[in-house]
Structure 1
Amino acid sequence: MKLGLHIGYWGAAPPPRAAEMVAEAEALGFDSVWTAESWGSDAFTPLAWWGSQTTRIRLGTDLVQLSARTPTATAMAALTMDHLSAGRFILGLGVSGPQVVEGWYGQPFPKPLARTREYVEIVRKVLAREERVVSSGPHYPLPFPGGTGLGKPLRSITHPLRPDLPIYLGAEGPKNVALAAEVADGWFPIFYSPRHDRLYREPLAQGFARPGARRKPEEFEVCPTVSVVVDDDVERAADAMRPMLALYIGGMGAREVNFHFDVFCRMGYEAEAGRIQQLYLDGRKDEAAAAVPTSMVEEICLVGPREKIRDDLSAWDESVVTTMLLGASIDTMRLMAELVL
């Protein structure tokens, strides 16, 4: 199993010591470093800035939101990053949720699977540079129908460094996971539990079995983000993660549509997730965090003393995970490098 550093998206300000963490990740032998975006900082700019100080580590977006850019604009950014990094870039894509897509980007959310498939097809056409890019839509028609009528098919002026630049997809629901296995080179599960490995193997197998699937299972990357908190007191370590889980289960989405909530329901935490969501939406955020059981934290995070984390890693080694993306301090990065690499 490989390790990656997940810096994520910014809060109110840039994350402190990020450049130092990237340098340390490369020195420790980490495979990759990743940035994200939500409705504040973008993913490409910080990755280019911090990545410019590296020479070996791969640079990826986990993830770029589809609705933030047209497929051709994303392909342009990807091929530019790949040239600047000498072939180390990985393009991670995801649909986000209706609150962000419609509320922030002003784009329609329906048919996320169809939009994702079409988006990836156009990006690959740009990167292949075999012909002028044309798409019949319906989501991203090229050239644009109507308008002045002067639009014409184009081919990228810049020759991509790697026409087969890897594309990973963020996915949570079974249908989306199957789509990732079919059309992408890797998959980002935002909340992954090695104890429920079968929940992921089945949709992955469905995608790999589809005609024209891009990768075989042994060629496919599975890269969950894993938070690590080292503390001799397991409950205290779990306390550090409860507010984040309460936010995603209760606040990152609507009551009617929350894909993060659904993930924990599939793990068997339907009652607990329902209570967390209700408390959070009622404005009782501290109570929502307190309602997150330690077992739920332990499903997706590594928490507790060093020895417990070492023992818990065995379940991850036996899962479909190929790269663990860490949200961790420099000291914890060093510990994980010692335990994993």
Structure 2
Amino acid sequence: MPDRWGITLPLSGLPLREQRAVVERLPDLGYTDAWSAEADRTDAFTPLVLAAQWAPALRLGTAIVPAFTRGPALLAQSAATLANLAPGRFALGIGSSSDVIVEGWNGIPFTEPYARVRDTLRFLRTAFAGERVAEDWASFSVRGFRLGELPEQVPPVLVAALRPGMLRLAGREGDGAIVNWLTADDVRAVAPHVREYGKPAAEIVARIFVVPDAEPERARAIGRRLAAAYLNVPVYKAFHQWLGRTELGPMWKLWADGDRRGALEAIPDEVVDRLVLHGPAASVREQVEAYVEAGVSTPVLAPLGGGDPVATVEALAPR
């Protein structure tokens, strides 16, 4: 069994207010981590605040909080508050997110994402140290902010990264990287960029989409829809082009031409099978372990497909 085994919160198919019983059981089932996401559902912090009280043994993390959608000071306050609710058990994951979420949904210009993440990371280091921050960075300026309640233990800050520039930032200035939408084999292309700065132990957190105990065609249909929605977003398209995934070329062309149905059908089954893990739960666990063997420190499962979330958590628990 890997040293760490995470799950994404909140679980799909159950209101967050009703998830206490299953979250309390996670450590006994063998889960070590619970990581939140922030896109179009809950915010990143609220589920972890609850989990901090419901399951005090769990390590908690955000994967991710967009660096654009909160001001630097508010982000530092939110992170410090959660770090003090779960001393030594919280990791802050930040990233650029995408133009869809930042600009399309939040009305914030998605400009210079690398600079925004880098500058946010540097600001957080200064703020968490208790220093008064008055500085002009390339992507924003802060005038006279000091964090009023410091974290009892400064949380590690991980950077969501896809291509070499951000991966190297994660390893050079961050405490590791958060990755997603990649295969176990892709990890071998990604990990060296994170760990090339004399940090062989730099953490790599991977969010891994899984559809356990579903018929292959149903699982592929779920995975294909999600893959099309993500892999046509410019940042993810560029990532898979960098990985050399030329077999997605027909899908990208059809999508650009407005043929959504054709684009879905053009995604090869093999690509779907490697990016969205499915099959019997035992097989899914083995596929997740392949990510760890390839260099992932913390696999974080993100179950898809509905069904009973409690049964899914139990079925995917490490053995």
SS at match of 1:135: strand
Higher share in strand: 2
1:149 maps to none
Indicate yes or no: 2:187 matched with 1:197.
yes
1:264 maps to 240
How far did residue 77 of structure 1 move? 0.6
1:223 maps to 205
Give unpaired runs (5+ residues) of structure 1: 144-152, 210-215
1:136 maps to 136
Indicate yes or no: 2:210 matched with 1:247.
no
2:302 maps to 327
Q: Deviation per CA, 1:272-292: give whole Å up to 9, x if none.
A: 2x3333444555544433332
2:306 maps to none
TM-score by length of 2: 0.86
Q: Is the 8 A contact 1:24 1:330 kept in 2?
A: no
Report the residue type matching 1:244 in the other structure.
L
Distance 1:72 1:78 in 2: 10
Report 1:39-118 matches (<5 A).
39=40, 41-118=42-119
Report the residue type matching 1:239 in the other structure.
A
Distance 2:205 2:28 in 1: 21
2:252 maps to 277
How far did residue 39 of structure 1 move? 4.6
1:150 maps to none
Q: Deviation per CA, 1:216-241: give whole Å up to 9, x if none.
A: 122x2111111222347544433331
Distance 1:112 1:338 in 2: 36
1:171 maps to 161
2:7 maps to 5
Aligned length: 312
Q: Is the 8 A contact 1:8 1:62 kept in 2?
A: no
SS at match of 1:80: helix
Q: Deviation per CA, 1:297-324: give whole Å up to 9, x if none.
A: 2323322235643553553232110111
- Residue 158 and residue 6 in structure 1: after superposition, are their counterparts in 2 closer, same or farther (change >3 A)? same
TM-score by length of 1: 0.81
2:266 maps to 291
SS at match of 1:325: strand
Q: Is the 8 A contact 1:9 1:43 kept in 2?
A: no
- Residue 300 and residue 99 in structure 1: after superposition, are their counterparts in 2 closer, same or farther (change >3 A)? closer
Distance 2:12 2:316 in 1: 23
- Residue 138 and residue 305 in structure 1: after superposition, are their counterparts in 2 closer, same or farther (change >3 A)? closer
- Residue 282 and residue 95 in structure 1: after superposition, are their counterparts in 2 closer, same or farther (change >3 A)? same
Tell which structure's C-alpha radius of gyration is larger: 1
Distance 2:298 2:125 in 1: 24
Report the residue type matching 1:49 in the other structure.
L
1:238 maps to 220
Report 1:20-39 matches (<5 A).
20-39=21-40
Report the residue type matching 2:110 in the other structure.
F
Distance 1:59 1:29 in 2: 15
Q: CA RMSD for the aligned pairs? A: 2.8
2:148 maps to 157
How far did residue 8 of structure 1 move? 6.3
Report the residue type matching 1:241 in the other structure.
G
Distance 1:287 1:21 in 2: 40
SS at match of 2:5: strand
SS at match of 2:317: helix
How far did residue 87 of structure 1 move? 3.3
Q: Is the 8 A contact 2:91 2:155 kept in 1?
A: yes
How far did residue 14 of structure 1 move? 5.1
Q: Percent identity?
A: 29
Indicate yes or no: 2:287 matched with 1:312.
yes
SS at match of 2:301: strand
Report the residue type matching 1:331 in the other structure.
A
Q: Deviation per CA, 1:234-280: give whole Å up to 9, x if none.
A: 44433331111111123xx3xxxx111223333443242x3333444
- Residue 277 and residue 56 in structure 1: after superposition, are their counterparts in 2 closer, same or farther (change >3 A)? same
SS at match of 2:237: helix
Q: Is the 8 A contact 1:243 1:289 kept in 2?
A: yes
Distance 2:219 2:159 in 1: 30
